[in-house]
Structure 1
Amino acid sequence: MPEARSTVVVVTWRGRAHIRECLDALAAQDRAANVLVVDNASDDGTAELLSGQNVLRLPRNRGYAGALAAALPRIETEFVAWLNDDAVPVPSWIATLEDALDRHGDAAAVTSSLELPDGSVQSVGVRLTADGHGADTALAGREVFGFCGGAALMRTAALRSVGGVPAGFFCYYEDTDTSWRLRLRGWRVISVPARVVHRHGASSRLGSSKFHHWNERNRLLMLVRCAPLLVALEQLARFVAVTAVLPFRPPDNAKNFRVSLRLGVLADVVWRLPSALVFRARTAATARVSRRELWRIWAGR
């Protein structure tokens, strides 16, 4: 059997109800790939279910980003894939992704076509909105700004060269942040029809207070780390301004517009700001494409 060129990292936390289907799909791939399961200190019997698998067990839950970061030093293959534990790839998945990177030598990452169980398309990649959000796009047939971290393949050396995975994000926006840094280094990100059925939200509580905290915090930190400085400052100022006027507006039931949550986000961002600025300077020192140019090309596209 040919030596595997890819290692698929599957992060799980209390994934007993769905991870077996994911692992069975990886075992049925048309092309050999190594599989590394990172168990985020599951306490629901997942550990027992993973008997016989190549498993990295963490002593505490480090989130999706933290688990991916913990796995990266163990990767010895040319390519590394990120795959959600509630995602089920078709048998040709890894072969399609590898072949795409072989065809496109200027691409560091290739993203999959994620479909919901009802057959509708969830994501074929990430677009950059006019105000700096990373958002799933379902528009196939065009180049994408970034990859969706639920199912993607990267060149391991390229990922390491741009600083790896932002472990402190815990979860959400680690993919868009990484895409920014790859593009700043001059790499492309491409999308191919490598199908993956995704039980979206099976592994996390979408819409929870923690979800909104991580989403809002990580977007702002990503902009500080990667975007043009004026964009980052504008979005920070906008977040502060909206938070300041909320007590004087009619109540909004949306959790991301709760003053207490937004104040917590701001406190978290301020605490992490020094390290984000240091990282920004390091990224700028090795960038081959300007932040302004990337913003001009991709924001709002």
Structure 2
Amino acid sequence: MDQTIGAVVVTYNRLGKLQDTVRRLLEQKVDHVLVFDNASDDGTAEWLASVTDPRLIRHRSDANLGGAGGFEQGMRQMTERCDPDWIVVMDDDGRPAHGAIRAFRDLACDHDAVGAAVLTPSGEVCEMNRPYRNPFWHGREFLRTLFRGRHGFHLQDSAYAVDAPVTDVDMASFVGLFLSRAAIRRAGYPDGRLFVYGDDQLYTLQMRRRGLRIAFAPPVRFEHDTDAKQAAGGVVLRPLWKVYYMYRNAMIAYRVAAGPWFWPLVPVLMIKWWRKARDYGDDAPVFRRILRIAMRDGLRGRLDRHHDEVVILSVQRK
């Protein structure tokens, strides 16, 4: 697959991780690397200015648009400025493993998008980037989900073996997702109003609803050097303003995924998410207050709440 590839990296105040990611990209056969800087104030702009590789494109936003805004604007700019055959997206802490771009070029598949196998630096499957087949669209996955929860529809560890076959999926994350020119033409761009969390899930599910095909390619490996911590019931979000975006956006994504099953599913989600407060200790009351607002906005499809207001919600103790 010897076509042009443009990489889009979204960054905010993680210079050390960004440096590792940009260097890893420039070591490989990538035609363009666009770094979308979400108004970082940690020396990111100065370091990017010092990089002399002509493949690097720098864009500094006047404000922090969040990951979703960065991906939307970064992908738009990459398309308008370079129009590559493929765009691969990643956060500043997600980077291709050595040889990943070569492995992508060697693929023999005709999908519209290709998701990489994302691992932690220690080589374990990165849970937050595990692709899945939507159980509401596939009978086998639906039945397995009834008994096994998320393990019933997310890809299993065996699918990550380097020699495992390419698999069709319905959701892939924005760490190592390759999007063809034709896919972007038909699907458009992620919704930047989501700010952070779930933008990749919503975007890829909507791609599938438009009839586009997404592959999971285990030979194409990415590393996600994330600081997010997992509790027994999933991720515990800090700072607390992230709670709003996680659950508002999840509610919107569930509407797309579940279709006619959405409204019967809503009470189940509300109970499950409400119980999540136990993982937040003394911050449980704040979590519940933010969650109530997030669920209400998600049900209404409200995407215009300003980030400053969300932050204020997370610091008010009453």
TM range (shorter): 0.7 to 0.9
The residue identity in structure 2 corresponding to 1:194 is V
Structure 2 match to 1:35:
33
Asked if the contact 1:114/1:195 (under 8 Å) is kept, the reply is yes
* Structure 1 residues 265 and 24: alpha-carbon distance in aligned structure 2, compared to 1, 3 A threshold: same
The residue identity in structure 2 corresponding to 1:70 is Q
In 2, the alpha carbon distance for the partners of 1:268 and 1:10 equals: 29
- After the TM superposition, which residues 97-136 of structure 1 pair with which residues of structure 2 at under 5 Å, given as runs? 97-100=104-107, 103-105=108-110, 107-122=111-126, 125-127=130-132, 128=134, 130=145
The residue identity in structure 1 corresponding to 2:244 is H
Asked if the contact 2:130/2:172 (under 8 Å) is kept, the reply is yes
Q: Shift of the alpha carbon at 1:271?
A: 5.0
In 2, the alpha carbon distance for the partners of 1:232 and 1:5 equals: 40
Which runs of 5 or more structure 2 residues have no equivalent in the other structure? 136-144, 229-234, 305-318
Task: Output the TM-score relative to the length of structure 2.
Answer: 0.72
Q: Shift of the alpha carbon at 1:273?
A: 4.7
Structure 2 match to 1:16:
15
Secondary structure of residue in 2 paired with 1:153: strand
Match of 1:195 among 217, 221, 242: 221
Residue 161, structure 1, aligned to residue 186, structure 2:
yes
Residue 207, structure 1, aligned to residue 243, structure 2:
no
Which runs of 5 or more structure 1 residues have no equivalent in the other structure? 276-301
In 1, the alpha carbon distance for the partners of 2:100 and 2:66 equals: 25
Structure 2 match to 1:287:
none
- After the TM superposition, which residues 1-301 of structure 1 pair with which residues of structure 2 at under 5 Å, given as runs? 5-29=4-28, 31-51=29-49, 52=51, 53-74=56-77, 75=79, 76-100=83-107, 103-105=108-110, 107-122=111-126, 125-127=130-132, 128=134, 130=145, 138-140=157-159, 141=164, 142-192=167-217, 193-201=219-227, 207-208=237-238, 209-224=240-255, 226-240=256-270, 252-254=278-280, 258-270=287-299, 272-273=301-302
The residue identity in structure 2 corresponding to 1:160 is R
Task: Output the TM-score relative to the length of structure 1.
Answer: 0.75
Give identity over the alignment, percent. 22
* Structure 1 residues 91 and 119: alpha-carbon distance in aligned structure 2, compared to 1, 3 A threshold: closer
In 1, the alpha carbon distance for the partners of 2:131 and 2:12 equals: 24
Secondary structure of residue in 1 paired with 2:30: coil
Q: Shift of the alpha carbon at 1:223?
A: 2.5
* Structure 1 residues 234 and 18: alpha-carbon distance in aligned structure 2, compared to 1, 3 A threshold: same
The count of corresponding residues between Structure 1 and Structure 2 is: 262
In 2, the alpha carbon distance for the partners of 1:50 and 1:143 equals: 37
In 2, the alpha carbon distance for the partners of 1:170 and 1:234 equals: 27
* Structure 1 residues 265 and 90: alpha-carbon distance in aligned structure 2, compared to 1, 3 A threshold: same
Secondary structure of residue in 1 paired with 2:169: coil
Q: Shift of the alpha carbon at 1:67?
A: 0.6
In 2, the alpha carbon distance for the partners of 1:160 and 1:42 equals: 30
In 1, the alpha carbon distance for the partners of 2:302 and 2:156 equals: 29
Q: How much is the aligned-residue C-alpha RMSD, in angstroms? A: 3.1
